[in-house]
Structure 1
Amino acid sequence: MLFVSLLLISLFFTYCSAFPTWIGAPGSISIGNIVPGAAHIEVLGPYLVGDSSKKHLSVPVVGQPGNLTIVSNEDATPPLFFINHNHLWQSINETAIFPVTLKNVTTIPPGATQVPLQLALDTKHSGVAGGSWKWRGTRLHYHHGAASNGGIFYSCPLEDGSVGLFLFLQV
């Protein structure tokens, strides 16, 4: 009888002492971050010289679709992005993710060899199809066939006064 009691107590502590963990995640990571590999995308550029605040990729209203732009870390908590099946996604919350899409929002002049493509967050895939996102070291690249942006993005003012994020594809 004592043996059975010790066995039951032993089994009880075995099951009660096991705690769920996310394999490979340090203890400081929130359990709410359920997307492996999701990270903030920090923006670096020559216009940031002398600016001590860090900048990141985001939309003007976090959690809502819109044009991607550059936002100061002081304004809001940076959103999380990840690449899955060659698509770039933003993790909105535990139940929603939005794809990053590329839109051709310009009129193409005759003889133009390059067209700027604007980055936007949408609720479904739209815009330019067939490309792929990849990390090359610390730089985010977009490839479409043999063309690539080389990890370079441009911030440009838009008609509504906001700033949009664009890329050019080059062979």
Structure 2
Amino acid sequence: MLTFVTLCAYAASVAAVPAWQTFSSRSSIGSLVRDANALEAVGLPFNRRFFLSMDGAPGGSSNATITEASLQQQPPLYFLSNDRLYQYTNESYIIPVSVLNSTESEEDPMPYKVVIGSEREAVQGITWQWRGPNLHADYPATNRSNLGLFYSCKNTHGQYGTYLHLDDGSQLNVKYPKRTPTPHGCYLVKLLDYKSVSEEEEEKKQQAVLASWW
């Protein structure tokens, strides 16, 4: 009985380890958090603002979703560190953003799905980069990239998720790359640092680029 209690106490202590201990120090996380910002989804054919969010409670694993801005709830914050993307809630809840291989899924419409958490099931080797104001997901081992393009799609249950496709990475500097066609019923979007999107000219520029691809 004593052994069982000891094991339970140990398990509880492990579960309670703050997420910031993944980083080198509290001070390093503080400097990163100062750069944390919302990710605005640009390109949806609606005259409203949308952000990268999630379909679960803050601090837990969930599907990444594109959600309309609300006065009642601020959009989540994100930051990059060592080519990885994290969602920040507070020092106890700093969760990696991962990409799952959904190729064999019978409910998902695209081969890769963006999720909050779920590191163990994630595609290993995905890196996140800023290219200008645009967020990119790259897969250096195969020289592939999502070219800065994300998709907001419904699965077979009618639930929205955020997806991507990994295309030929050599097209990164091509103005109009040959990309995978947008699946029926999906919306093509770019995810931009909200600080840059707040500049009206940048937002118009990105909207115009996406409009030419519809």
TM-score between the two structures when normalised by the length of structure 2: 0.56
CA distance in structure 1 between the partners assigned to 2:99 and 2:32 by the alignment: 26
* Distance of 1:139 and 1:94 partners within structure 2: 26
Equivalent residue for 1:155, pick from 149, 152, 157: 152
Question: What amino acid is the match of 1:132?
Answer: T
Aligned partners of 1:62 and 1:79 also within 8 Å:
no
Q: What's the counterpart of residue 45 of structure 1?
A: 43
- The amino acid of 1:120's aligned partner reads V
CA positional deviation for 1:66: 0.6
Native 8 Å contact 1:89 1:99 kept in 2 = yes
Q: Alignment partner for residue 133 of structure 2, among 126, 129, 138?
A: 138
Query: For residue 61 of structure 2, what is the amino acid of its counterpart?
Result: P
Cα distance change, pair 60–46 in 1 and its aligned pair in 2 (3 A)? closer
Q: 2:32, 2:79 within 8 Å by CA — same for their partners in 1? A: no
After superposition, the Cα gap between the structure-2 partners of 1:80 and 1:125, relative to the gap in structure 1 and judged at 3 Å, is farther
Q: Are 1:117 and 2:115 matched, yes or no?
A: no
Query: Aligned residue for 2:164?
Result: 167
Structure 2, unpaired ranges of 5+: 1-29, 169-214
Identify the structure with bigger relative contact order (alpha carbons < 8 Å, sequence gap 6+).
Answer: 2
User: Between the two proteins, what is the percent identity of the paired residues?
Assistant: 33
Letter matched to residue 106 of structure 1: T
> Displaced runs of 4+ in structure 1, greater than 4 A?
none
Whether 1:76 and 2:87 are equivalent positions in the alignment is no
Counterpart of 2:184? none
RMSD: 2.2
- Alignment coverage as a number of residue pairs: 131
Structure with the greater alpha carbon radius of gyration: 1
Partner secondary structure for residue 68 of structure 1? strand
- The Cα of 1:160 is off from its aligned counterpart by 2.6
Q: TM-score, normalised by structure 1?
A: 0.69
CA distance 1:136–1:130, shift in 2 (3 Å): same
CA contact (8 A) 1:99 1:125 kept: no
CA displacement, residues 48-78 of structure 1 (integer Å, 9 cap, x when unaligned): 3xx2x31000002341311100111116210
Listed as ranges, the gaps of 5+ residues in structure 1 are 1-31, 109-114
The CA deviation at 1:124 is 4.0
Inter-CA distance 76–62: structure 2 relative to 1 (3 Å threshold):
farther
CA shift for structure 1 position 101 = 0.7
